[in-house]
Amino acid sequence: MPRVNLQYYALLREQAGRRAETLDTTAETPAALYAELAARHGFRLPASQLKVAVNAAFADWERRLEDGDEVVFIPPVAGG
């Protein structure tokens, strides 16, 4: 069961009510992890609207999560 570190930004931060958390998860991929978190925190953004970064690099939704991974789900951006 990997232990992952999560950071939240923007809308997800507000909905989660925290900036970061460490979680033991049964999820093997970011896709499964987001589904778990959406249920836990009531995230309304569908995964199709998000990107995911693992260890500060954009990552595939189906990659395998490792113990100690830093995972960030990235909501639609609005720079500029």
Partner 1 sequence: MSPFEFSATTIDGSALAAPLANPGAGGFAAFEGRVRDRNEGRQVLALDYEAFEALALAEGARIVQDALDRHGATAARCVHRLGHLSVGDVAVWVGVSAPHRAEAFAACRAIIDAVKHGLPIWKKEHYADGDSGWVNCEHAAHAQRFDYSRQLALPEVGHQGQSRLEQARVLVIGAGGLGCAVLASLAGAGVGRLTIVDHDRVDASNLHRQPLYRIADVGRLKAEAAAERLAAYNPEIRVTAMPRRFDAALAGELVPDVDVVVDCTDNFAAKFLVNDAAMRARVPAVLASVYQYEGQLQVVRADRGGSCLRCQWPEPTRDGLVGNCVESGVLGPVPALLGQMQSMEVLKLLLGLPGQLEDELLLVDLLSQGVRRLAAPRNPGCAGHCVRIGAGPQAAGDVDVTLPLTAAAAAGYRIVDIREPMECEFEPMPVTGHESVPLGRLLDGALEVDGDRPCLLVCAHGVRSRAAAEFLRARGHANVWSLRGGLAGQAG
Kindly give the residue spans of alpha helices, DSSP state H, lying in 1-80: 10-16, 30-41
Using the rule CB under 8 A, is 20 a contact of partner 1?
Answer: no
* Interacting positions 60-79 with partner 1 (CB under 8 A): 72, 74-79
How open is the CA angle 44-50-51, to the nearest 5 degrees? 150
* Lookup: tokens for 15: 């909905």
Using the rule CB under 8 A, is 39 a contact of partner 1?
Answer: no
Using the rule CB under 8 A, is 56 a contact of partner 1?
Answer: yes
Among 64, 63, 66, 58, residue whose Cα is nearest residue 74? 58
Q: Which range of residues in 6-14, 23-31, 32-40 is near partner 1 by CB under 8 A?
A: 6-14
For binding to partner 1 (CB under 8 A), which residues are involved? 7, 9-11, 14, 44-46, 48-49, 53, 56-58, 72, 74-80
